[in-house]
Amino acid sequence: MKVSANTRTLGSLRPGQTCRVIGIADQGVSAEMEDRLLRMGFAEDAEIEVRHEGLFGRDPMAVKVDGVILALRRREADTILVEVDTPK
């Protein structure tokens, strides 16, 4: 896992931002949840675009990954480490 200055958690992103997955956190994620996240496409190098967020606490969030739109909560999104794309 290459951690850099641009490394954030997916949960800290806002709609409109895009990023690339660098990995899933070592702690705070059950093996089952990690398997499900990977299965739904949150694997290394996946490109993600944050699309929408809920009204209260901006939760849950909807992201586009592998051509599919997925909803997840910030709590789980916080376990996904990403490299934020800088706007060109």
Partner 1 sequence: MTPGAAYRLALVGNPNCGKSALFNALTGGRQKVGNYPGVTVERRVGRLQTPSGIAIDIIDLPGSYSLTPHSADEAVTNKVILGQQEGELPPDAILCVVDATSLAFHLPLVLELKRLGRPMLVTLNMMDLAERDGIRIDTAALARELGLPVVGSVAVRKAGTRDLIDTLSSTLETLKSQPPADTASIPTDVRGLRREARRIALAAILSEGREHKVTRVLDRIFLHRLAGPAILFGLLFLMFQAVFSWAETPMNWIDESIVGLQTLASSEITNPALQSLLVDGILAGVGSVVIFLPQILILFLFILVLEASGYMARAAFLMDRLMAGVGLNGRAFIPLLSSFACAIPGIMAARSIDSQRDRLTTIMVAPLMTCSARLPVYTLIIAAFIPDRKIWGTIGLQGLVMFSLYVFGIVAALVVAAVLKRTLMRGAAQPLLLELPKYQMPIWRDVAIGLWERAKIFMRRAGGIILISMIVLWALSSFPPPPPDATQPPIYYSAAAWVGKGLQTVFAPIGFNWEISVALIPGLAAREVAVAALGTVYALSGSEDAVATSLVETLRSAWTLPTALSFLMWYVFAPQCLSTLAVAKRETNSWGWTFFMAGYLFALAYVFAGATYWITKSIVGL
Q: Tell the smallest beta-carbon distance from residue 48 to partner 1 (Å).
A: 13
Residues contacting 84, CB < 8 A, separation 6+ = 6, 8, 13, 17, 18, 19
- Under the rule (CB under 8 A), what is the footprint of partner 1? 30, 32-33, 35-41, 43-44, 51-60, 62, 66-73, 75-76
Closest CB to partner 1 among 5 and 32?
A: 32
Asked if 79 contacts 4 with a C-beta cutoff of 8 angstroms, the reply is no
Distance of alpha carbon 85 from alpha carbon 88, whole angstroms: 9
Closest CB to partner 1 among 3 and 33?
A: 33
Q: Tell the smallest beta-carbon distance from residue 57 to partner 1 (Å).
A: 7
